[in-house]
Amino acid sequence: MDDPSVWVQRYAPLVPGGEVLDLACGSGRHSRYMQALGHLVVAVDRDPQALAAAAGDGIVTSEIDLEGEGAAWPFGPLRFAGIVVTNYLHRPLIAGMLGSLAPNGVLIYETFADGNAAFGKPSNPDFLLKSGELLDIARQNGLRVIAFEDGVVNTPKPAMVQRICAVKEEFPREAALLPPI
Ligand SMILES: C[S@@+](CC[C@H](N)C(=O)[O-])C[C@H]1O[C@@H](n2cnc3c(N)ncnc32)[C@H](O)[C@@H]1O
């Protein structure tokens, strides 16, 4: 589970230069991956042990309970060239998160979706994306969708997942070189 997600690996090269936010980073598999691509990474989680594992050169860790009572989006005016979220969903954060994408910033999001109960946890609908939800969020917020998938995967374990790569496009459009198939 320490290997970076193939989805993140595939679309990470589209993130322009600048800082990357790894939201609910866990032990930092994507923080390290994005740092290795040359980004300064802000790695956020509420779990101090996970953050200790995530910390490293070019990775600034921040212990925040993103869902605490009265919790507001913690990044105010900061803008990120990329935001990576995997295996985490707290819908009240989404508007603030998208507000923190810099112009031409890239969102890479992958988490469990409706139907995952057939495979195990999470099974609570609060933690499962509804059919097409990430696509709807991207479109409603004016992001250009580079790629979207919604279905069953077998690796790293059988699960129902949804995943998106989308750009907060500013004009004139920057040429985004798609990864080879
Ligand atoms: C399933 S792990 C995913 C970790 C990482 N994104 C990955 O895919 O490897 C979910 C993470 O969300 C973090 N988390 C859960 N609730 C949180 C909260 N209220 N505030 C901050 N982090 C939270 C957990 O501590 C955990 O590290």
How far, in Å, from the CA of 88 to the mean position of ligand 1?
6
What pLDDT score was predicted for residue 174? Answer: 63
- What CA–CA distance (Å, rounded) separates 166 from 153? 21
Q: Cβ distance 101 to 168 under 8 Å?
A: yes
- What CA–CA distance (Å, rounded) separates 119 from 160? 8
Q: Does residue 137 fall inside a structural domain? A: yes
pLDDT tops 80 at residue 141: yes
Contacts of 6 (CB under 8 A, 6+ apart): none
> pLDDT category, 171, cuts 50, 70, 90?
confident
User: Ligand 1 within 6 A of 89 CB?
Assistant: no
Give the domain extent around 162: 6-167
Q: Does residue 173 fall inside a structural domain? A: no
Peptide bond into 156 cis (omega under 30): yes
State which of 42, 47, 88 you would mutate to test the pocket of ligand 1, scoring each by most atoms of that ligand within 8 A of its C-beta: 88
Q: Across the chain, how many H-helices and E-strands are there?
A: 5, 7
Q: Does residue 105 fall inside a structural domain? A: yes
pLDDT tops 60 at residue 1: no
Average confidence (pLDDT) over 149-160:
96
Q: Does residue 181 fall inside a structural domain? A: no
Q: Does residue 174 fall inside a structural domain? A: no
Q: Does residue 154 fall inside a structural domain? A: yes
- CATH, residue 79: 3.40.50.150
CA-atom Rg of the chain in angstroms? 15
What pLDDT score was predicted for residue 172? Answer: 64
How far, in Å, from the CA of 4 to the mean position of ligand 1?
15
What pLDDT score was predicted for residue 92? Answer: 94
pLDDT tops 80 at residue 65: yes
How far, in Å, from the CA of 133 to the mean position of ligand 1?
20
User: Ligand 1 within 6 A of 26 CB?
Assistant: yes
Q: Does residue 156 fall inside a structural domain? A: yes
Q: Does residue 84 fall inside a structural domain? A: yes
Number of compact structural domains in the chain: 1
- What CA–CA distance (Å, rounded) separates 63 from 50? 10
Q: Which atom of ligand 1 is nearest to the CA of 23?
A: 6
Average confidence (pLDDT) over 47-60:
98
